[in-house]
Structure 1
């Protein structure tokens, strides 16, 4: 099955846009958890919330499924004001993945994945089929793992089950609160790679919280940087964020090595120029057109070359010079919020 499951009425379901308009959260003691924030999340994109501890990342995330009610502002999912919806029904349309997964220890993996479909009244066979489909999608053989219990799985495997469970009822939005932080760095890298593959397949609207700038840059289509008292400091795609930090606070947060990070998330085609008549491309090291600028730099350094040839299906289609690698990309026309 592809990205959208079929519900009981026979209709397919797609990802949904999220609109956050002047949203804030102030607690009774006067603590400002989230300031006046506005930004849009396009349908099917992955937006990362990042910032120092206490910047309101998790609070903002939980306001999207009304686990926390905002003090002000409006949140719309697919154009509908979530404040006008029943909270329980709203949450059944939104997948939620937390750091420690929260699987039910006395239920099998297959039963855990089918939790929300069971609450929605799906038939047993349909729940089993959907659970097995999603276990396979996240890289766990259902015939091997479906009848096991959470304690019989590794931390990385349990995290995959958590993602499968969150996707089981084909939600229009997926919320993820530091989903990979509880596993070791090697497993974390593998989970991130698997998650990118999964997102390419399902294209859900995802809002993900992390403390890790490298994770944000690797996973996010766009990144929200929050500062003290939950103020929005910048909202931009990773290449723009890394090349043009909006404030000193953002510059400090993304780090002094942001230039190298930018290369890892910028496609080589953005710096490509046409092949000139005199260009001796046959002697240039090569990179595929799907590569990043970081890949191009690595090839140049390995070959001690000033240029690389960019190929598509093995045929040179352009070149990239070393000097072009470090030119700042053109500013993206993404709204920066407020």
Structure 2
């Protein structure tokens, strides 16, 4: 199915960039929720906000759609200052997914998904078609689930409906506040996998809040680590964050096992050596080119091998040595000038 099918303004709308310029939030009692943060999120990028409790993650998210107004600074979406836009109209064009979904209990799943299109004045036929398209996209058969009510679905299924509803009007930006934390670990892992598949199809600009570093490195294109008072500690790709923590505080937050996490986010395509550097490759175990160094390590340990052959459609395209697994080059040093 085409993920960029029907929408209100034509197929395939682009994503939007987000810019925070010295944004802060101080409440009347003097509580500093967010001190001063500047951040750029590229169009189509998935950025994760992570940090300890009380560091302002959710506050930042809510300032983006003006559920909370900042005390200072500017927030721009596609270069437009959100403070100059009608907040209700703004929110209708920003998808928002929360931890407990917030589905309307007395409405069917199909009606829940069509909420925003109805508010935007779409006709019934178009709204229904969009709702069914999105249910199919998130892996729920509309014929089977469209007429059901939220209480008739599992937690993981309700979370999928929440994502579908957030995407229904084809928003340029999607905000997600700990969207997978209310389900058990097995369902959570499956939802993360499905969400990555979905993002590859729709390529929205997404800002996602989580407290789970494993979720952050699995989902994020870049990760913003926040400290007390909503201050930015580091903003980097998952590989760079795990390889080069900017401070001792960041290092402690990402954990002592960050080396293993780094293997799980480092793509074989980016680290393999040419095939010709190892003889008799036909005797070596293989791993798919779309895998990670963690996948390569698993194959090595299972096969008791010091090297693996990286294959694409069955053809050798490179090799990886066990001795190189924990000596991954710094992404910044390896990047082209």
TM-score normalised by the shorter chain: which range applies?
Answer: over 0.9
Q: CA deviation at 1:203?
A: 0.6
Cα separation, 2, equivalents of 1:123 and 1:255? 51
Is 1:271–1:324's contact at 8 Å kept on the other side of the alignment? no
Aligned equivalents of 2:329, 2:58: Cα separation in 1: 31
8 A contact 1:239–1:329 mirrored in 2: no
Query: Structure 1's 12 and 214: CA in aligned 2 closer, same or farther, altered over 3 A?
Result: closer
Using the TM superposition, give the Cα deviation of residue 6 of structure 1 relative to its aligned residue in structure 2, in angstroms.
4.5
**What RMSD over aligned residues (CA atoms) do the two structures have, in Å?**
1.4
Residues 70-113 of structure 1, C-alpha deviations (whole Å, 9 max, x = no match): 11111111111111111011101100000110001111111000
Contact 1:20 1:37 in 2 (8 A): yes
Q: Determine helix, strand or coil for the equivalent of 2:103.
A: coil
Distance 1:132 1:11, change over 3 A: closer
SS at match of 2:275: coil
Change (3 A) 1:12 1:306: closer
Q: 1:264-283, aligned counterparts within 5 Å?
A: 264-276=264-276, 279-283=279-283
Residue deviations 1:150-200 (CA, integer Å, cap 9, x gap): 111111111111100000000000000011111111111111111111111
TM-score, L = length of structure 1: 0.95
Compared CA separation, residues 222 and 278, structure 1 to 2 (3 A): closer
Distance of 1:260 and 1:125 partners within structure 2: 50
Alignment of 1:184-203 (within 5 A): 184-203=184-203
Does the 8 Å CA contact 2:4/2:11 hold for their aligned counterparts? no
Rounded to whole Å, the distance in 2 between the matches of 1:21 and 1:306 is 49
Partner residue, 2:51:
51
Report what 2:218 is aligned to: 218
Match of 1:332, SS? Answer: helix
Q: Which residue of 2 aligns with 1:336?
A: none
TM-score under structure 2 normalisation? 0.95
Show the 5 A alignment for 1:1-338: 2-10=2-10, 12-276=12-276, 279-332=279-332
Distance of aligned partners of 1:11 and 1:285 in 2 relative to their CA distance in 1, 3 Å threshold: closer
Structure 1 pair 281–65 and aligned structure 2 pair: CA distance change class (3 A): same
Please, which runs of 5 or more residues in structure 2 have no aligned partner?
Answer: none
CA distance in 2 between counterparts of 1:309 and 1:9 reads 47
3-state SS of the aligned residue for 1:25?
strand
* Unmatched segments (≥5 aa) in structure 1: 334-338
